[in-house]
Chain A
Amino acid sequence: MADPLLRVRDLRTYFYTENGVARSVDGVSFEIGAGETVGLVGESGCGKSVTALSLLRLVRPPGRIESTSEILFDGQDLAKLSEKEMRKIRGARMAMVFQEPMTALNPVFTVGDQIAEVVRVHHGGSKKEAWARAVQMLETVGIPAPEQRATEYPHQLSGGMRQRVVIAMALVMNPALVIADEPTTALDVTIQAQILELMRELQQRLGTSILLITHDLGVVAETASRVIVMYGGEIVEEAPVDELFKNAHHPYTEGLLNAMPQVGHERERLATIPGSVPPPTAWPKACRFHDRCPYAWDRCATEHPPLYQIGPGHSSRCHLAEEPERRADKHEPFVVMAGAEGRP
């Protein structure tokens, strides 16, 4: 197999806070192939956004990417690049679409200006060429009257339009990888579908790889070919998307799937996962999910599970891989974490 576009090995991003070291991303390894869409799923605080920021080296102090981490992108280890070399990657080879289109754009510059700026910084050329490219890009993302819209300010556009602008800004240099951090969370449901459709269409047309970060498994089902589930700063399960929905292995993934509302079952009470993500300064020892897990037994509290290979392209960080008979013994979790909401 050819080298993947992105290969992350043992990525660790720690925040050195007054309350201790927050191990937000704690030994994450994964790959993204060229033209592939990978979903990265997990609750708030599981480390998925920090993973995304780490790939672009946008983590700000007190956060730090530990020196053991490798981010091999296009044959370069981004973790070793200087800040100046890294700037040539950002926005050009690897771009990001942020969650909040309301605040991700600068309120005092026109949207055309903000897109053209990326072209000028990375490609050079005249202001006029960059502007023309920006207008063209606005048209590509389906904004009507792009010449007119380019001269407008973010506050003059609707939420959906703004997210299209953010996408145009990310794609203007035709990057190899786009990281989309909850790109539809802040939008109306109808607009969400449009934006997802747009991303899928552009991805097919431009052959861009996408890392789609979301807490919404429904979004993943529609767009991604492979899913990575994160919990407690670690990858707990990874599988092709169909496999994950059919044969979820990790109890956390199972919980996420059960928590999804289903059409036709509206009247039922939605299943929840008891407790909440523990603070990253104090991950539980051994299995980080054991105190919220309905299958947990004594081994889970003493031995940190490795990523077990349980099928082709399917791995799970759960001892059930070795003792599948335990799945029959479903019970209430032993400890429901109390007062763990206050994350730093």
Chain B
Amino acid sequence: MRRQLAARLAQSLIVVIIVTTISFFVIRSAPGDPFSYESTTITPAIRDHWREQFGYNRPLPVQFIRYVTSVAHGELGYSFQMHEPVAVALAAAVPRTLLLTGLALGLSFLFGIIIGVLQATHRDGWFDRVTSAVLLFFYSLPDFWAALMILLLFAYWWPVLPAGNIVDPVMHDYMGGWEALVDRLRHLALPVLSFTLLTMAGITRYQRAAMIETLPMDFIRTARAKGLSERRIVWRHALRTALTPMVALLGLMLPALLGGALFIEKVFAWPGMGLLAAGAVAARDYDLVTATVIAGSVMVVIGSFFADLLHMAIDPRVRE
């Protein structure tokens, strides 16, 4: 078990290194660099001077070694676009993304599991049919379009919730504790709602299938023969077993969720990792691009590591 964990850690490290390397070279092979933006007042000579200052005129392998050395020393570089060290920009953005995706993930698993179980126990009944149809509808919508429609609906046509940002940019600092919390939640509502609706369908589908597979099993019949109530049979005996594939799904979904966060953050102007990365790519903000990729891959690796631990907690058969 300890050896497994060590092997897993080594694997993760390799993944992070590979991802870092690829992103380093890919963003540099894109046309332009941090100093190629349009401006009439900056002469080519000045641009070249800057490039030399930051070492962007040197051969790529040399740049790569310099970059890796500085990262190894804990120095992630400077963001020209944000006008602050990359570490500072990341430190602000990462918790916002974690809040958004974490909350959405928690809610979509909670509701997905509950609905999936109810669908399986009332298979082919009206509840199964109606919820399946509704969720399939949301599942088949393109992410960004669905998010835009939700934005239009609740922030424009029927403006009950704020359209973007994490807090009210003007008034938040003047609010009391309770009011400030409500303000935060109101800003969270739309992005979390969109995110949850879009990911819940898949989770529900998986849970339904896992339950349908579990319910005819022999140990469920044993549970009935023991005189247990149907509720106890479904929510204790069947669900605990049917949760195992869900944990695997959680591990699989984490990378996709970070990708999805980009669209949601863009639509709802949520200044998290996704928005930061998108802006950085557009501005060829080299250090920031690579740093967001590193942060993203570290998050995915940690997430799937936790999924593994959770798997062990749920299924005694994989503990040895």
Contact = CB atoms under 8 A, between A and B. Distances in A.
A118 B227 contact: yes
Interface in B210-248: 217-219, 221-229, 232, 237, 240-241, 244
A89 B314 CA distance: 31
B316 interface: yes
A103 interface: yes
A82 B219 CA distance: 23
B315 interface: yes
A59 B241 CA distance: 23
Nearest to B244: A108
A121 interface: yes
Interface stretch (A93-101, A229-237, A295-303, A307-315): A93-101
Nearest to B317: A155
B89 to A, nearest CB: 44
Interface residues of B, number: 21
Nearest to B238: A106
Interface string A169-186: 100000000000000000
A106 B224 CA distance: 12
A87 B228 contact: yes
A91 B232 CA distance: 15
Contacts of A118: 226-227
A56 interface: yes
Prevailing SS type, chain A contact patch: mixed
Nearest to A155: B317
Contact of B314 (A90, A105, A108, A153): A108
A343 interface: no
Contacts of B224: 58, 90
B219 A103 contact: yes
A89 B221 CA distance: 15
A81 to B, nearest CB: 12
Contacts of A92: 227
A239 B317 CA distance: 47
Contact of B219 (A58, A95, A106, A121): A106
A153 B317 contact: yes
A39 to B, nearest CB: 20
Contacts of B240: 106, 108-109
Interface of B: 217-219, 221-229, 232, 237, 240-241, 244, 314-317
Minimum-distance CB pairs A-B, first 9: A91-B227, A90-B227, A103-B218, A91-B226, A153-B316, A96-B225, A106-B219, A87-B227, A104-B222
Given A88-B227, A104-B222, A169-B226, 8 more contacts: A87-B227, A105-B219, A106-B222, A106-B237, A107-B315, A121-B228, A155-B316, A155-B317
30 contacts: A56-B225, A87-B227, A87-B228, A90-B224, A90-B226, A91-B225, A91-B226, A91-B227, A91-B228, A95-B225, A96-B225, A98-B218, A98-B221, A103-B217, A103-B218, A104-B221, A104-B222, A105-B219, A106-B240, A107-B241, A107-B315, A108-B314, A121-B226, A121-B227, A121-B228, A121-B232, A122-B227, A153-B316, A166-B222, A169-B226
